[in-house]
C-alpha cells in the first residue's frame, strides 16, 4: 500500500490531489482519503511513501512539526509544492528532495513502480521555478548543471550550454534550491548529479557534458563530502 501524506491548510489542494491520485493510480488505500491537514503530522505514518508539503501555507507556526519531518526525511522523499511566489523556507531546505510547481507534476515523477525500500537515494527530477527579469522559467532539476555568481547577479548554466542571467545572490539559491545542489566556492554552486570527477589536490570539479572546470575552496570542502555520499548512494 502506497500512502500520500499531504501537509497543507488548503482544502481545495487536498481535493485536487485526491482526484489526481485516482487518475494516475499511483497511491492506493489510505491515500485516496488524504490523511493530513493543517500541518498536523499523525503519530502513525505506516505505509507513507511520499510527503507533499504545501510551501504556500508554511508560516512561523509550522516550525513545530520540523522534528517529525526530519525523521520522515530519513526514509521517505519529501517534496515541496509552490506556485513560485515564495522560495523554500530555510528550515526545509536540507530535508526536501525537490520542489514542484503544480500538483500534476507530483504524480508522473512518483509512479507506483518507482517506489522502493532500499537505502539508496533516488534522484527526483522535480521542477524548479526561476524568475529572470520579466521571464519565468520552469526547469527540471537535472537541466541545471551549476551556478556562478558575479557581483549582484547569478548565471545559471544548463545542460545544453546556455546560461540564464538572474538578478539575485548565490546565497538565495543556496537557501532555496533543493538537494542535491551544493555550494563549493564563494562564487560557485553545483548540482551533484552532474559531478563526474573531484580533484582534491588541485581543488577542481569536473562536470558531465560541459568542458567547464569548477574551483572549490577549503571553506566548502565539507560539501564535497556530501556530494561524494550522494553520488555513491543515488539511483536513477
C-alpha cell at 223: 560539501
Question: Contact at 8 Å (CB) between 14 and 37?
Answer: yes
pLDDT at 90: 76
User: Where does a domain end: 101, 117, 133?
Assistant: 117
41-75: per-residue pLDDT in tens? 666 566 677 788 888 888 877 888 888 888 877 77
Q: Which residue has the cell 540564464?
A: 164
Residue 73 CA, chain-centre distance (Å), reads 12
CATH code of 213's domain = 2.40.50.1020
Task: Give which of 34, 106, 27, 38 is closest to 98, Cα–Cα.
Answer: 106
Domain count, the chain: 2
Residue 161 CA, chain-centre distance (Å), reads 22
C-alpha cell at 177: 534550491
Instruction: Identify whether residues 105 and 180 lie together within a single domain.
Output: no
Instruction: Identify whether residues 184 and 228 lie together within a single domain.
Output: yes
List the domain range (segments joined by +) for residue 157.
Answer: 142-235
123 is a domain residue: no
13 is a domain residue: yes
Phi/psi class of residue 67: alpha, beta or left (left: φ > 0; alpha: ψ in -120 to 50)?
alpha
163-218: per-residue pLDDT in tens? 988 888 888 888 777 778 899 999 999 999 899 999 999 999 999 888 889 999 99
Q: Is this model's pTM higher than 0.75 or not? A: no
Task: Give which of 112, 186, 190, 102 is closest to 149, Cα–Cα.
Answer: 186
Amino acid at each position: 500500500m502506497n500512502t500520500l501524506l499531504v501537509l497543507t491548510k488548503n482544502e481545495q489542494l487536498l481535493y485536487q490531489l485526491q482526484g489526481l491520485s485516482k487518475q494516475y493510480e499511483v497511491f492506493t488505500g489510505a491515500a485516496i482519503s488524504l490523511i493530513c491537514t493543517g500541518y498536523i503530522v499523525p503519530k502513525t505514518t505506516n505505509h507513507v511513501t511520499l510527503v507533499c508539503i504545501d510551501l504556500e501555507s508554511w508560516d512561523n507556526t509550522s516550525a513545530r512539526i520540523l522534528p517529525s519531518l526530519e525523521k520522515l526525511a530519513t526514509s521517505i522523499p519529501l517534496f515541496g509544492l509552490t506556485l513560485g511566489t515564495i522560495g523554500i523556507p530555510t528550515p526545509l531546505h536540507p530535508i526536501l528532495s525537490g520542489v514542484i510547481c503544480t500538483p500534476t507534476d507530483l504524480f508522473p515523477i512518483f509512479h507506483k513502480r518507482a517506489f522502493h525500500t532500499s537505502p539508496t537515494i533516488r534522484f527526483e527530477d522535480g521542477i524548479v521555478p526561476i524568475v529572470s527579469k520579466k521571464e519565468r522559467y520552469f526547469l527540471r532539476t537535472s537541466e541545471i548543471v551549476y551556478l556562478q555568481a558575479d557581483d549582484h547577479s547569478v548565471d545559471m548554466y544548463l545542460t545544453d550550454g546556455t546560461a540564464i542571467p538572474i538578478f539575485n545572490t548565490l546565497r538565495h539559491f543556496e537557501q532555496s534550491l533543493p538537494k542535491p545542489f551544493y555550494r563549493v566556492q564563494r562564487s560557485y554552486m553545483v548540482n551533484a548529479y552532474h559531478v563526474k570527477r573531484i580533484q582534491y589536490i588541485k581543488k577542481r570539479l569536473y562536470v558531465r557534458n560541459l568542458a567547464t572546470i569548477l574551483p572549490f575552496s577549503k571553506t566548502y570542502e565539507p560539501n564535497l563530502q556530501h556530494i561524494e555520499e550522494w553520488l555513491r548512494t543515488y539511483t536513477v
